[in-house]
Amino acid sequence: MKVAFVGLGIMGKPMAKNLLKAGHELKVFDIVAASVAEAAGAGAAAASSAAEAAAGAEVTITMLPDGPDVEAAVLGPAGVLEGAAPGSIIVDMSSISPLSAQKVGRACQAKGVHFLDAPVSGGEPKAIDGSLAIMVGGEKEVFDKVSPLFQAMGSSHILTGPVGAGNVTKLANQIMVACNIAAMGEALVLATKAGLDPEVVFNAVKGGLAGSTVLNAKAPMAIARNFKPGFRIRLHQKDLRNALLAAESMKVSLPLTSTVQQMLMSLMNNGRGDLDHSAIVTFIEDMAQAEIRKPA
């Protein structure tokens, strides 16, 4: 397929490369010239704007930090909608507010362009190996047309409802992940303070009911003090903020989400916003004056 890709960050760059590996024709744009040059070196064509990237593409994918970025890239001057032809498809794979996704979807519909919101889960490692979980909102016919692209980037892609449903599903995912990391932090800080080896505790519990993909991915990072970002604290804070705003609009109380979002805000204020979200555990460590690490 002829595909345009706008947004070559930590996630977007490997996703674009996986589309190239699958044999799709790719034109790319990013405001960071070095990222465009790297993708071009892997076989993509370079564009000087989002509109130029979208011109002639059957499908344009956007992968950007937040809703305002998506709205600017799609709806703004020299944006995707300026270049997208009627009948083409725009797929936003960013994690944004469902309301923002629906706004972009309506603008696309007015121009005769199809739209899907399709946020992903899995962070940089799964973006690299093409095993992302992709949560999609939109029409089934459009979803089916884009499925070959999803297969190149993810291990699963599920249509969850109309436009906006993909991001509601992603917010639900982000709530579970953040609360899981926070709970893991409390558990391993307790174990460490009690004089136990947190790695032994992790190995003891991971096969039981407390075991999870989050635990398996993030506990070893915390124990090794490896907070190199696969998914940054500040981006997870943004997702929880969007979850709380959506919940407020529906009069849904999310007390655990609110608490963890405040932890993330505190970590950002302490200069840790660009660490991996596994560094949520450091908030618990600061309170306990105990660090999760193997005994000396």
Pair (45, 158) in one structural domain: yes
Which pLDDT value is given to residue 296?
A: 79
Burial 180-192 (b: 16+ CB within 10 A, else e): bbbbbbebbbbbb
Residue 123 has pLDDT above 90, yes or no: no
Pair (12, 151) in one structural domain: yes
Which pLDDT value is given to residue 230?
A: 84
Pair (158, 256) in one structural domain: no
Pair (155, 181) in one structural domain: no
Residue 1 has pLDDT above 90, yes or no: yes
Q: Which of 147, 163, 179 lies at the terminal end of a domain, its last residue? A: 163
% of the chain surpassing 90 pLDDT: 97
Active site members: 170
Q: Is 158 left (phi over 0), alpha (psi -120 to 50) or beta?
A: beta
Contacts of 152 (CB under 8 A, 6+ apart): 18, 19, 21, 22, 24, 130
Domain count, the chain: 2
Q: Which of 163, 186, 218 lies at the terminal end of a domain, its last residue? A: 163
Q: Assess if residue 96 is contained within a domain.
A: yes
Q: If you average pLDDT over residues 146-152, what whole number do you get?
A: 98
The residue type of 275 is: L
Residue 245: half-sphere exposure toward Cβ, Cα within 13 Å = 13
Strand-pair partners of 222: none
Residue 295 has pLDDT above 90, yes or no: no
Pair (218, 146) in one structural domain: no
How many other CB atoms sit within 10 Å of the CB of residue 239?
27
Residue 62 and residue 117 in contact, taking contact as beta carbons nearer than 8 Å:
no
pTM: 0.90
Pair (51, 142) in one structural domain: yes
The 3-class SS string of the chain reads CEEEEECCCCCHHHHHHHHHHCCCEEEEECCCHHHHHHHHHCCCEECCCHHHHHCCCCEEEECCCCHHHHHHHHHCCCCHHHHCCCCCEEEECCCCCHHHHHHHHHHHHHCCCEEEECCEECHHHHHHHCCEEEEEECCHHHHHHHHHHHHHHEEEEEEEECCCHHHHHHHHHHHHHHHHHHHHHHHHHHHHHCCCCHHHHHHHHCCCCCCCHHHHHHHHHHHHCCCCCCCEHHHHHHHHHHHHHHHHHCCCCCHHHHHHHHHHHHHHHCCCCCCEHHHHHHHHHHHHCCCCCCCC
Q: Assess if residue 64 is contained within a domain.
A: yes
The residue segments making up the domain with residue 136 are: 2-163
In angstroms, the CA 119 to CA 201 distance is 33
- pLDDT tens-digit map of 228-273: 998 899 999 999 999 999 999 999 999 999 999 999 999 999 999 9
- When the pLDDT of each residue in the chain is averaged and rounded to a whole number, the result is 97
Q: Which of 128, 163, 198 lies at the terminal end of a domain, its last residue? A: 163
Mode of pairing for the β-strands spanning 59-62 and 120-121 = unpaired
Report residue 287's pLDDT band, with 50, 70 and 90 as the boundaries. very high
Work out the burial of residue 61: count CB atoms within 10 Å of its CB; fewer than 13 is exposed, 13-18 middle, 19 or more buried. Answer: buried
